[in-house]
Amino acid sequence: MTRVCVEDFEKDALRLLDKNALDYYRSGAGEQLTLNLNREAFKKIRIRPRCLRDVSNIDIRCNVMGIDLKWPLGISPTAMQKLAHSDGEGANALAAGNVGSIFILSTLSTMSIEEVASVAPNTNKWFQLYVYKDRSLTEKMVRRAEEASFKAIVLTIDAPIFGQRRSDIRNGFSLPSNLRLANFQSLQAAAGVQSDGEGTSGINVYVARQFDATLTWKDLAWLVKLTRLPIILKGVLTHEDAILAREVGCAGIIVSNHGGRQIDTVPASIEALPEIVKAVGNDLVVMLDGGIRDGNDIFKALALGAKVVFVGRPALWGLACGGQKGVEEVLNILKKDFEISLALAGCQKLSDISGDMVAHESTYAKL
């Protein structure tokens, strides 16, 4: 059957992926309250459409941090994409480029920085960084991203250790022996993700051994000074941290709860967005991921002040269903859907979207 929405790809991906990979991709942490909230919160926002406004010429192009994009959506960093398809991160990056999106490559990728750069040279790419206990290793990754023409460093700040994803613990999640974390190919200790046995997730074991959980805001000065690339912080959920991000010299932030995979019961990203936009929206590029599944979600996030949004799992579902082509289909569906949302809400271009075009459902319940 023709797939017409992200959900259709998800349903097919659920049949195609093995349990180890599927549970790793779809899970959230703890009771998965935040994972579910990321979707529920969007459903509680109503669009207030304006009518009789010429929408014959829809234009969704934008410029984000100096990069011209065909539309305001990119692909979030997700680890180990060869679990979904043998073409892995390269296919995802190529699809992003073909549909005019940004691709963010995870530190924990199954294709290296250099491989992705050579497969998808024309895609706008950012590199997502985790800070390793071995700072020289961390510094080398930043240099490699610079040399491979990545255009920003996205530092993920919500993962000093990994959240308790119960299915991965039950499954004893491990990266299959034919796959490696490709950015560390020559370093055996940093390239494999193996469970310690029953009742442990290999990725949690890996992160506890390798990531630097001592990281604080003071270390950010080191990172900002280290590279000529702009620094974007991913995982901001409060206006307090957004203000600190501005103080340390970051160029942007991604409001995110890691797709509900870190600390459970934190707000949905879309719930956290308004306080952050209010605090720093004039000074930093505020972006968002978490729960975006259709054009209306993109519209709502932009109305609440995000400049661009990102999707994680939808791209993985596309990858599982058909490699590069599958991701392109997902992105094209989202793009078309967003154009329709824009037109039906009475907007011709992104700057026509305003905060008063959305309202929380409670506004209407009071009537």
Catalytic residues: 258
Specify the residue, 76 or 123, whose C-beta has the smaller distance to ligand FMN. 76
Segment interacting with ligand FMN, rule: CB under 6 A, options 63-71, 222-230, 289-297, 344-352 = 289-297
Which 89-148 positions form the footprint of ligand FMN (CB under 6 A)? 106, 108, 128
Segment interacting with ligand FMN, rule: CB under 6 A, options 117-125, 190-198, 237-245, 257-265 = 257-265
Task: Choose, by CB under 6 A, the member of 90, 163, 252, 259 that binds ligand FMN.
Answer: 259
154 sits in which H/E element: strand 153-156
Specify the residue, 34 or 346, whose C-beta has the smaller distance to ligand FMN. 34
**Is 290 near ligand FMN (CB under 6 A)?**
yes
Residue of 287, 295, 339 lying closest to 60 (CA atoms): 339
Taking the complex as a whole, the smallest distance from the CB of residue 312 to ligand FMN amounts, in Å, to: 2
**Is 156 near ligand FMN (CB under 6 A)?**
yes
Specify the residue, 86 or 354, whose C-beta has the smaller distance to ligand FMN. 86
**Is 84 near ligand FMN (CB under 6 A)?**
no
Q: What is the DSSP string of 337-354?
A: HHHHHHHHTT-SBGGG--
**Rounded Cα gap, residues 82 and 68, in angstroms:** 29
Segment interacting with ligand FMN, rule: CB under 6 A, options 62-70, 253-261, 275-283, 321-329 = 253-261
Residue pair 103/92 in contact by the 8 Å Cβ criterion: yes
Specify the residue, 55 or 231, whose C-beta has the smaller distance to ligand FMN. 231
Site string for ligand FMN, 36-75 (x = CB under 6 A): --x-------------------------------------
Task: Choose, by CB under 6 A, the member of 34, 76, 112, 204 that binds ligand FMN.
Answer: 76
SS3 79: coil
31 sits in which H/E element: none
Task: Choose, by CB under 6 A, the member of 74, 88, 100, 291 that binds ligand FMN.
Answer: 291
Radius of gyration of the chain (CA): 20
Structure tokens at 69: 């994009």
**Rounded Cα gap, residues 127 and 223, in angstroms:** 14
Residue of 234, 349, 358, 343 lying closest to 287 (CA atoms): 234
Using the 8-state DSSP alphabet, how is residue 366 labeled? T
Torsion of CA 86, 87, 93, 95, to 10 degrees: -110
User: Phi-psi region for residue 235, left (φ > 0), alpha (ψ -120 to 50) or beta?
Assistant: left
Question: Which residues would be at the binding site for ligand FMN (CB under 6 A)?
Answer: 24-25, 38, 76-79, 106, 108, 128, 156, 234, 256, 258-259, 261, 289-292, 311-313
